[in-house]
Amino acid sequence: MVCKEWKLRIMFSKRISNLDELADYLLDSFASDKLVMLILDKVLLLLDNPFKYSREKLGKDKHGNSMFSIEVTGDIRILYSVDPEKLYSFHLGD
């Protein structure tokens, strides 16, 4: 599906509604600024096209949307699901 702009919903225990809040949350959660930048770079890639950069399809989430993961480092992956009809990419955390 071709989409000019994907919308992002980030699901953590703390309400995060934009990339600035995500960056602040990650800086508080991780000691390494380099790691935070790697995570944010991957999130920006996913906002561009969540299908293009996915490396692993994980099945379906509870709403029936396709779930994927993308590697940040060898130990850290971002899990996300995509609703192509509403053009939403859901990034899961915590």
Q: Which domains does the chain possess?
A: 7-92 (3.30.2310.20)
CA–CA separation, 28 vs 43, rounded Å?
A: 17
pLDDT at 15: 75
pLDDT at 89: 60
Q: What is the pLDDT of residues 58-85, one digit of tens each?
A: 888 888 888 888 888 888 888 888 877 7
Low-confidence ranges of the chain (pLDDT < 50): 94
The pTM for the full model equals 0.75
Residue 75, phi then psi, degrees to nearest 5 = -105, -15
Contact between 83 and 6 (Cβ < 8 Å): no
